[in-house]
Amino acid sequence: MIFPLILLSQAASNLQDTGTFIIPEGIKEIGEYQYANLSNFTKISFPNSLEIIHKHAFNSCNSLESLKLPPNLLIIENNSFESCSNLKTVIFHSQNTEVSQCSFRYCIKLETIQLPSNLKYISSNLFANCINLQTIQLPESLKYVDEYAFTGCSGLQHIEIPPNVTSIGTDCFYGCFNLQTIQLPISLKFIHDDAFSGCSSLQHIEIPPNVTSIDLIVFAIAQIFKQYNFLYH
């Protein structure tokens, strides 16, 4: 069951005085662009029945400030909450398992993210250009971090890559110029092009012994070989 397309006047009828937009119980899917560009609510009350949020469903909902996602949500498709410029907090349920690319790109006020404990990968561009994001705890279930995942997150200062991650994608932390420390796991095998390019504040990095593929351009602009203590076993 997909929640039928609604007009602005109908959307207003689902809005509480608290600024919470209520999506009724029984709804399993929210369609593409269904609520894109609506700006009259600060929170969303999702039904427990919800399983899929389709592409661009809440794109550019610029009054939205916080999200708490329901337990039975299986898939968040591409660009679902992209460019929600006032979104500050996102809390996933532990059972949420798939968050597709660009879902939170350009959420420029995003500060706090509680990721699902069973998440297997950080998809491409997931948090790209979230410039107020200063720290994020990645779940231990994580296997890889895809390309551009945190590119342009200029507020990010420290990150610890979990112990089962084997690959860090192209441009993953590109332009994170306030990133000072990053801890890489022993499981890591691949660091792709420009992964840390533009990380001009990076002070120290230790490359684990199992890394079999790395390119010098990974550290372009940071010039880590000249400026910092670079260790390779």
Q: What is the mean pLDDT of the chain?
A: 87
Per residue in 116-155, pLDDT (tens digit) is 999 999 999 999 999 999 889 999 999 999 999 999 999 9
Same domain, residue pair 133 and 222: yes
Residue 189 is part of a domain; what is its CATH number?
3.80.10.10
Which pLDDT does position 202 carry in this prediction? 85
Measured between alpha carbons, how far is 134 from 216 in angstroms, rounded to an integer? 26
Q: Examine the fold and report which residue of 90, 118, 146 is the final residue of a domain before the chain moves on.
A: 118
> Does pLDDT of 66 surpass 70?
yes
Q: How far is CA 96 from CA 36, 64, 120, 218, in A?
A: 22, 21, 11, 32
Which pLDDT does position 9 carry in this prediction? 38
Residue that the structure tokens 């890559």 belong to: 161
Taking a C-beta distance cutoff of 8 angstroms, is the pair 56, 83 a contact? no
Q: Examine the fold and report which residue of 78, 100, 118 is the final residue of a domain before the chain moves on.
A: 118
3-state class (DSSP) for residue 224: helix
Domain containing residue 100: 1-118
Same domain, residue pair 128 and 101: no
Q: How far is CA 157 from CA 89, 180, 203, 214, 229, in A?
A: 18, 5, 11, 23, 18
Indicate the pTM of the whole model: 0.87
Hey, how many other C-beta atoms are within 10 angstroms of the C-beta on 1?
9
Measured between alpha carbons, how far is 108 from 34 in angstroms, rounded to an integer? 22
Q: Examine the fold and report which residue of 118, 135, 157 is the final residue of a domain before the chain moves on.
A: 118
